[in-house]
Amino acid sequence: MYHTELCTVAQMDIAKTFDCGQCFRFNRQDDGSYLGTAFGRTVKLWQENERVYIDAPECDLTIWHSFFDLELDYAAITEGFYHGEYMEKCIDFGRGIRILRQDKWEALCSFIISQCNNIPRIKGIVEALCKNFGEPIDYLGQVHYSFPTAERIARLDESELAIIRSGYRANYISCAARAVCSGEINFDELDIMDHKTALKAVLGIRGVGVKVANCFILFGLHKMEAFPIDVWMKKALKENFEAGFDHRVFGDYAGLAQQYIFYYARSGDN
């Protein structure tokens, strides 16, 4: 076990970051730590003495710094948000959340799966996908699985996805994998596009609408102005902002404001 210091708890709250609905492969353990897999690596994170530690070698820290977006000063960004009383509450409640820089294919595929599903089921389907088509990873004598590559999924016959019980989404997963492999969707190109252009490109994938596209753009492409609106967000915006409110007032980091609002709305503490 490594005991590598990653950041301070002021920079990142691991529980909020993993449980705010942006990722599906990190799970809380009985001791309060989180165990999960990303980029083909299974890791454990925990908080201790105001610090966040990760069971990963020093040489992997670059990967995790990027994954947890630790170079960005969230406190400074938050200052730029519109500070009504409600927004203050959301920011205060969500302080410590970090918008992850997830693997792009994993994010795209996961949010396609998320449509019309709740978190436990999304997690179940994603795990089944990894178990059946990912590569095994040994972690402390336990077997975990990497997220399968788009190539692996694209090669499958769509009927082979039935085992993950994703229902009508199987066709969408298959189509997305093939779009990525054929070059019809090129992540490097999406990276350098502005939000609007990237959105238009991603909407060309069958099974990807505005909501899923914005989740992918925010959590996969890390374009922070993306502002996904699902049923929870719709309700929160309607109840707490004037009619005709335009989220663009949150500026270039609107996606972070969205995550604070979403997390607060989901908490039921309002």
Partner DNA sequence: GAACAGGCAACTC
Partner DNA sequence: GAGTTGCCTGTT
Q: Residues in the site for DNA, rule: CB under 7 A?
A: 21-22, 114-121, 162, 165-169, 205-213, 215, 230-232, 262, 266
Nearer residue to DNA within complex by CB, 119 or 143: 119
At how many degrees (to 10) do helices 119-133 and 104-114 cross? 130
User: Is there a catalytic annotation at residue 238?
Assistant: no
State in angstroms the smallest separation of the CB of 212 from DNA. 4
Q: Single out the catalytic residue among 131, 196, 211, 238.
A: 211
Q: Degrees (nearest 5) of the Cα angle 155, 125, 262?
A: 120
State in angstroms the smallest separation of the CB of 151 from DNA. 22
State in angstroms the smallest separation of the CB of 115 from DNA. 3
State in angstroms the smallest separation of the CB of 211 from DNA. 4
Nearer residue to DNA within complex by CB, 42 or 166: 166
Q: Which amino acid is at 112?
A: I
- What is the phi-psi region of residue 51: left when phi exceeds 0, alpha when psi lies from -120 to 50, beta otherwise? beta
Chain length of the chain: 270
Nearer residue to DNA within complex by CB, 59 or 168: 168
Q: In angstroms, what is the C-alpha Rg of the chain?
A: 18
Nearer residue to DNA within complex by CB, 56 or 177: 177
**158: how many CB neighbours lie within 10 A of its CB?**
14
**39: how many CB neighbours lie within 10 A of its CB?**
15
Distance CA 63, CA 186 (A): 21
Residues with a known catalytic role: 211
